[in-house]
């Protein structure tokens, strides 16, 4: 824990396996671009971290405390960023279908370092 890279087995992450299988398909890339464009634009304009905050939110469904910790943000700042993400996307992050579509889109994008 907390030491070096984390290795995850694809068979334990079926959505990652699916996205990886279709990762080079232009439709998958278009899906990611369409879903995330408002966040990408915001992050580029402000040197922001909304994509990474969303990634943490999706990695810890139902546990915003863990998601905030994974984002290295206080819970209050994390909640503000989640509200901004919802506003920019025009989506309710409590909707399961929206979460699934966003999770696929985020998995299709490389992690920013």
Give, for all 113 residues of the chain, the pLDDT tens digit: 556 665 555 566 656 666 676 667 788 888 889 999 999 999 999 999 999 999 999 999 889 999 999 999 999 999 999 999 999 999 999 999 999 999 989 988 866 54
In a domain? residue 5: no
3 assigned to some structural domain: no
Determine the Cα–Cα distance for residues 109 and 9; give it in Å rounded to an integer. 18
In a domain, 76, yes or no: yes
Whether 87 maps to a domain, the answer reads yes
Domain count, the chain: 1
Q: What is the pTM of this model?
A: 0.80
Q: Is residue 103 domain-resident? A: yes
Q: How many angstroms separate the CA atoms of 77 and 62, rounded?
A: 17
Residue 78 covered by a domain: yes
Q: Which two tokens stand for residue 15?
A: 């959505």
Looking at the domain assignment, is residue 83 inside a domain? yes
User: CA-CA distances (angstroms) from residue 43 to 21, 39, 65, 71, 96?
Assistant: 27, 6, 23, 15, 25
C-beta of residue 100 within 8 angstroms of C-beta of residue 61: no
Q: Say if 2 falls within a structural domain.
A: no
Expressed as residue numbers, the domain containing 22 is 13-108
């Amino acid at each position: 824990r907390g030491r070096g890279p984390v290795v995850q087995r694809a068979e334990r992450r079926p959505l990652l396996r699916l996205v990886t299988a279709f990762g080079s398909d232009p439709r998958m890339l278009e899906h990611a671009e369409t879903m995330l464009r408002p966040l990408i634009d915001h992050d580029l304009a402000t040197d922001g971290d909304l994509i990474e905050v969303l990634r943490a939110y999706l990695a810890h469904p139902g546990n915003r405390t863990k998601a905030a910790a994974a984002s290295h943000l206080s819970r209050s700042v994390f909640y503000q960023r989640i509200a901004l993400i919802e506003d920019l996307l025009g989506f309710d992050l409590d909707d399961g279908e929206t979460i699934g579509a966003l999770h696929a889109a985020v998995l299709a994008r490389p992690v920013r370092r």
